[in-house]
Amino acid sequence: MALSLQQIKAAPEKDSYKWTALSNTTLGVFMASLDASIVIISLPAIFRGIQLNPLEPANISYLLWMLMGYMVCTAVLVVAFGRMGDMFGRVRMYNAGFLVFTLASIALSLTPGHGGAAALYMIIMRIVQGIGGAFLMANSTAILTDAFPPEQRGLAMGINMIAVIAGQFIGLLAGGLLADVHWRLVFWISVPFGLFGTVWAYMKLREIGAKDEIEHDWWGNITFAAGLILILVAITYGIQPYGNHLMGWTSPAVLAELVVGVLLLILFVVIERRLKAPMFNLRLFNIRAFTAGNVAGLLSAIGRGGLQFMLIIWLQGIWLPLHGYSFESTPLWAGIYMLPLTVGFLLAGPASGYLSDRYGARYFATGGMALGALCFALLMLLPANFNFWLFALILLFMGIGSGLFAAPNTTAIMNAVPARERGQASGMRATFMNSGQVLSIGLFFSLMILGLAATLPHSMSAGLIQQGVPPAVARQVASLPPVSSLFAAFLGYNPMQQLLPKPVLAALPQRNAAQITGQEFFPKLISMPFMRGLRIAFTLSLLAYAVAAGASWMRGGKYVHKDQ
């Protein structure tokens, strides 16, 4: 059949538009990942700037919500925003996300006041940022799927995910450099990207995807959001001390949040099964490629979600100080020494995405998870004071495994659903990923705290008494919740300077005080209990990756929904 003149003109325009869509969505996810990592590494400077000590028991909640508020918000909202994209236009929702994220970044850079009030303001603005991020995450993948034909989507997803990894690494470096100048620059850096991206998106992106114009499912949205919020909030407070307990898992409030949250999610499923036009079409789970991909994505997120935090604590609290780095400089150097993880992802991500367009996701996603499981096993065999080149090689292959999995799995999920439901499918994929990361952080920190609590108090008490600290003070310091030591190492503080009262340090002989606050005292003290907790946590990751590999294999061969 001969092509009309209009069709001939439209072909190059459509081909050009897909690269515009890829460029803009890549900028969006780069900005979001840059902001997440730059805040993590800049927390010491931020808390110094607002004159708040995050390690005091009353302030630990501020620290946790600065870390997790953004993730909790995006995990809760991406499904609803993805469904709104199906109904009202994915580009419209995506553009709104760019604008909200940018305005929140400006508001954060203008944080007023000091102390708890300033911290609360920043947490609220981070949650607003999370709303913008949820709009971006829920619709960017669907916009790419709309713009690219099935045979090129894996390549597009691979390039898009390079931006995520590059943003995380650049954020670590930029945060380490900018925080030394002024903490507000940490938030200003994302503003130019946001302003340019917002204007560019409004000018160039257009609606080409199918819309599903149906009535909004209010009850589904309410029950899903409330249930997930309660569960994720319970996880956040579960890793904080409660009364005389190491953690808050026995708190009546935490238990009530977990129970009510689960009941609300069960009610959500009941509601969705009875509606003709639900917020999320549960019938999509009848598609094997969609279900297997999301199960594998959830387990992958659980396995790796706490990995970055554990590696940072390992490097900052033990390895870097033992190798002559000051505690204050460890956040920047931890980012640099984790570069092999990024390099591995950059090597494998685009290539696996491109090849999965031809051969399907099954072999790449399965192989990636199997390789990741092997790397977790190898990490558990390392001593606390490891040989860096061996550590770097393991991280390189860990990154390659993640790169082999990410783009093919995402592409397979999006290829498996009808065009009119891409927004909600993208939102559900992001929900599984973000919820898995928050759950992983809760599990990792819980296991680590249990591992530390078993032996750290005795070792710390004995070590302090040996250096002349009064026994009563040594036992009091050793009995403090292990979470304080973990977060001190994570933030790049000298833990012993934070834990020991200043008058006690001042009263000690200079040699003893220097020994306690030196480069080796705390790392050697924490090494054995830390590695015990780390091996328990990495065993969980290994099992999660192994099951994810099985789920990836069960997806079957290459599948593209007939309505694509």
DSSP state, residue 384? S
pLDDT (0 to 100) of residue 173: 76
- The yes-or-no verdict on residue 4 having pLDDT over 50 is no
pLDDT (0 to 100) of residue 6: 45
- What kind of architecture, by CATH, is found in domain 289-564? Up-down Bundle (1.20)
pLDDT (0 to 100) of residue 7: 43
Cβ-based neighbours of 129, under 8 Å, separated by 6 or more:
35, 70, 100, 101, 104, 105, 108
- The yes-or-no verdict on residue 187 having pLDDT over 50 is yes
pLDDT (0 to 100) of residue 33: 78
Portion of the chain with pLDDT greater than 90, in percent: 17
- The yes-or-no verdict on residue 364 having pLDDT over 90 is yes
Q: How far apart are CA 518 and CA 498, in angstroms?
A: 13
pLDDT (0 to 100) of residue 467: 86
Closest among 86, 96, 50 to 197, alpha carbons compared: 96
Best-predicted range by mean pLDDT among 114-128, 242-256, 475-489?
Answer: 114-128
Cβ-based neighbours of 85, under 8 Å, separated by 6 or more:
92, 93, 94, 138, 139, 142, 423, 426, 427
- Collapsing DSSP to helix, strand or coil, 345 comes out as helix
pLDDT (0 to 100) of residue 518: 83
Closest among 142, 46, 155 to 93, alpha carbons compared: 142
Q: In 10 A of CB 358, how many CB atoms?
A: 9
pLDDT (0 to 100) of residue 5: 41
Q: In 10 A of CB 242, how many CB atoms?
A: 17
pLDDT (0 to 100) of residue 531: 87
pLDDT (0 to 100) of residue 224: 82
Cβ-based neighbours of 181, under 8 Å, separated by 6 or more:
none
Average pLDDT along the chain:
83
Here the tokens at position 72 are 């909790």
- Which tens digits make up the pLDDT trace of 55-84? 776 777 788 788 778 888 887 888 778 878
- Which tens digits make up the pLDDT trace of 190-211? 888 888 888 988 888 887 765 6
**41 contacts 331 by C-beta, under 8 angstroms:** yes
Long-range contacts of 463-467 (CB under 8 A, 24+ apart): 463/521, 463/525, 464/500, 464/516, 467/508, 467/512, 467/515, 467/516, 467/521
**380 contacts 538 by C-beta, under 8 angstroms:** yes
- Which tens digits make up the pLDDT trace of 28-40? 888 877 877 788 7
Question: 166 or 408: which carries more pLDDT confidence?
Answer: 408
Q: How far apart are CA 548 and CA 374, in angstroms?
A: 13
Best-predicted range by mean pLDDT among 7-21, 204-218, 491-505, 530-544?
Answer: 530-544
- The yes-or-no verdict on residue 551 having pLDDT over 70 is yes
- The yes-or-no verdict on residue 451 having pLDDT over 90 is no
CATH of domain 17-215: 1.20.1250.20
Q: In 10 A of CB 378, how many CB atoms?
A: 15
- Collapsing DSSP to helix, strand or coil, 517 comes out as coil
- The yes-or-no verdict on residue 536 having pLDDT over 70 is yes
Mean pLDDT of 282-294: 89
Q: How far apart are CA 508 and CA 470, in angstroms?
A: 10
- Collapsing DSSP to helix, strand or coil, 386 comes out as coil
- The yes-or-no verdict on residue 121 having pLDDT over 90 is yes
Least confident of 148-162, 200-214, 431-445: 200-214
DSSP state, residue 555? T
Here the tokens at position 455 are 């032996």
Q: What DSSP line would sit under 222-283, residue for residue? A: HHHHHHHHHHHHHHHHHTS-BTTBSSSTT-HHHHHHHHHHHHHHHHHHHHHHH-SS-SS-GG
pTM over 0.85: no
Q: How far apart are CA 18 and CA 506, in angstroms?
A: 65
Question: 433 or 364: which carries more pLDDT confidence?
Answer: 364
Q: In 10 A of CB 209, how many CB atoms?
A: 21
Mean pLDDT of 251-278: 86
- Which tens digits make up the pLDDT trace of 308-357? 778 888 888 889 999 988 877 787 788 788 889 888 988 888 888 888 88
